Amino acid sequence: MLEVTALGWTLTIGVIVALLALDLAVGVLRPHAVGFREAAVWSVFYIAVAIAFGFVFASIAGWDFGAQYFAGYIVEKSLSVDNLFVFVIIMSTFAVPEKYQQEVLTFGIIIALVLRVIFIALGATLLSLFSFMFLIFGLLLVFTAVQLFRHRDEDPDVDDNALVKASRRLLPVTDDYVDGKMITRVDGRRMVTPLFIVLIAIGSSDLLFALDSIPAVFGVTSEAYIVFAANAFALLGLRALFFLVKGLLDRLVYLSTGLSLILAFIGVKLILHWLHEDVWHDAPEISTPVSLGVILVVLTVTTVASLIKSRNDPAAKAHAGSMRAHRTREEKRS
């Protein structure tokens, strides 16, 4: 079992908060359209920081725990790319001006990080108290994988988001973005801007991704510290990664298929772990190195196959995948 001192937690949280403050300063205090070069520099920086942390952590805690961190980081990073698909859809649906997209993304990342901290604490507590939660988490991931694979050629429908619909119905919303403000006054009346609704849409999508990603990362490590660190470092680079790859996302046509395979694999791993611990002690277990290898192979094959497909069929377009089939216009009206 990994023993992390109060000082270790404090230093880790301090580094993450400092990086978050840096991201906030870049994305909110200086709103501007982000170019490819700037996005590339920041993306490389955040990935380098995550890798450096992994090597430092492994040298202190041992390479077994280090492998668990890198496996968790890769899982969360790959899931975050799918999250970017949804961000792109939301930004396009609400026609968010480029100079305000950084602000929305940064606050969206903060919301995602807070939600993950809550779910990590809850997940770690449940797993320590009830071993059958490994079975529950495993079945949840397998179900998610099946649904994602079934609807891999669809995109989430923002119009079906309950929070967005309720906000539009209950809150007075301005017609334009009002200099990037979220709340403003028009003729003495307090109103929210479309940017506020966009943040609600992103925050609610973050909640859904947290429900999937936390069980997934607990499938490669049971250590709450590693789960937290892997999630935090994977999320911190999302803002820059969004601007770096948003023009390339359409080419990753098999990403949803690859993610569904990864989620199903981790789900099976959790179920086997439950069987081994509670039912049948001779049940096979999947080691961390094997998990890391499978995840890397699936992501590599998915990426290469996507690029080949896009090159041979320029009309092919990637989709974020959806947990349910879309309703028709007639069904929405009814």
Least Cα distance to 79 among 220, 223, 271, 270 occurs for 220
pLDDT at 115: 82
Q: Is 182 exposed, middle or buried (0-12, 13-18, 19+ CB in 10 A)?
A: middle
CB count within 10 Å of CB 262 equals 24
Q: Which residues contact 73 (CB under 8 A, 6 or more apart)?
A: 50, 54, 230, 233, 234
Contact 117, 17 (CB under 8 A): no
Cα–Cα distance for residue pair 213/228, rounded to 1 Å: 11
Contact 310, 251 (CB under 8 A): yes
Least Cα distance to 319 among 256, 259, 242, 225 occurs for 256
The residue written with tokens 């071993």 in the block is: 131
What dihedral angle (degrees, nearest 10) is formed by the CA atoms of 293, 295, 299, 305?
A: 70
Query: What is residue 184's three-state secondary structure?
Result: strand
Q: Which residues pair with 206 in a beta bridge?
A: none
Q: Which residues contact 329 (CB under 8 A, 6 or more apart)?
A: none
Q: Which residues contact 7 (CB under 8 A, 6 or more apart)?
A: none
pLDDT at 60: 92
Q: Which residues contact 230 (CB under 8 A, 6 or more apart)?
A: 69, 72, 73, 75, 76, 217, 221
Consecutive 10-residue runs of the chain (334 residues): their mean pLDDT? 89 91 73 74 90 94 92 86 76 79 78 82 82 86 88 74 78 80 83 85 78 80 89 83 73 86 89 83 82 88 90 80 58 49
Domain ranges of the chain: 7-325
What is residue 29's DSSP assignment? I
Least Cα distance to 102 among 35, 172, 158, 201 occurs for 35
What is the SS3 string spanning 113-133? HHHHHHHHHHHHHHHHHCCCH
Q: Which residues pair with 186 in a beta bridge?
A: 189
